[in-house]
Chains A and B, each alone.
Chain A
Amino acid sequence: AQKITQTQPGMFVQEKEAVTLDCTYDTSDPSYGLFWYKQPSSGEMIFLIYQGSYDQQNATEGRYSLNFQKARKSANLVISASQLGDSAMYFCAMRGGSQGNLIFGKGTKLSVKP
């Protein structure tokens, strides 16, 4: 069975500093996708970044990068130069298998301090 584990219920970071949010996954599928979503207090789910299991390079999207270590089954999100607007819940998710649905972790609440 597929599983996503996020071990950090909450994180604090100083504005303008970088922060890493941890995500480990478990799957027996040879092909899968890893996603990060941001959920601000307003509640919507905002797609941030995607990493495919066969991608050789780590994904980057602006201030977001994904540190993908396949052998360790980890897909950590790195946010550089944190901003106050980055304060939100962050969910790691995996997609694979015939259903195509996302399997979510429990999330990490990030708080950016001024």
Chain B
Amino acid sequence: NAGVTQTPKFRVLKTGQSMTLLCAQDMNHEYMYWYRQDPGMGLRLIHYSVGEGTTAKGEVPDGYNVSRLKKQNFLLGLESAAPSQTSVYFCASSVAGGEAYEQYFGPGTRLTVT
């Protein structure tokens, strides 16, 4: 039982390049989230999904796209990376969306855009 895993752990991109971050969970959770963490800030929600085939925008969605084709996977795409997207990206999942449900976090992906 690996929990929530993220691929890759580190990545350096040049401005304008594209990439996809993969999040996978093996807990059969319905809800999945992508957050970003910038220095001196807490985590902020980029996009989220309440089930397979669904996605929705969070607080800071610009410049990102997501897909949830399989229940266990949630992909975050950067079509044209910008230096402002340099950040640590966390994926999380939970059984449901109720306020009592714990969110389980992946280890994070550190992305640098030069």
Chain A residues in contact with chain B, CB under 8 A?
4, 29, 31-33, 35, 37, 43-45, 47, 50, 52-53, 91, 93, 95-96, 98-102, 104-107
A33 contacts B43, C-beta separation under 8 Å:
no
B58 contacts A47, C-beta separation under 8 Å:
no
Residue of A nearest to B56 (CB): A99
Q: Could you list some 28 contacts between A and B, CB below 8 A?
A: A4-B42, A33-B100, A33-B101, A35-B102, A43-B88, A43-B107, A43-B108, A43-B110, A44-B105, A44-B107, A44-B108, A45-B105, A45-B108, A50-B100, A52-B100, A53-B99, A91-B42, A91-B43, A93-B43, A95-B101, A96-B99, A99-B97, A100-B94, A100-B97, A100-B98, A104-B42, A104-B44, A107-B42
A106 contacts B42, C-beta separation under 8 Å:
yes
In the complex with contacts A99-B58, A101-B58, A47-B102 CB distance below 8 A: yes
Q: Report if B96 contacts A (CB, 8 A).
A: yes
A50 to B104, CA, bound (A): 13
Residues of B within 8 Å of A50, CB to CB, are 100, 102
Residues of B within 8 Å of A53, CB to CB, are 99
| Chain A interface, >50% SS class | loop
Q: Nearest 4 pairs between A and B by C-beta?
A: A100-B97, A104-B42, A33-B99, A45-B105
Q: Report if B31 contacts A (CB, 8 A).
A: yes
Known contacts A35-B102, A95-B99; 14 additional CB pairs below 8 A are A33-B99, A45-B90, A50-B102, A52-B100, A53-B99, A95-B101, A99-B58, A99-B97, A100-B96, A100-B101, A101-B58, A105-B42, A106-B42, A107-B42
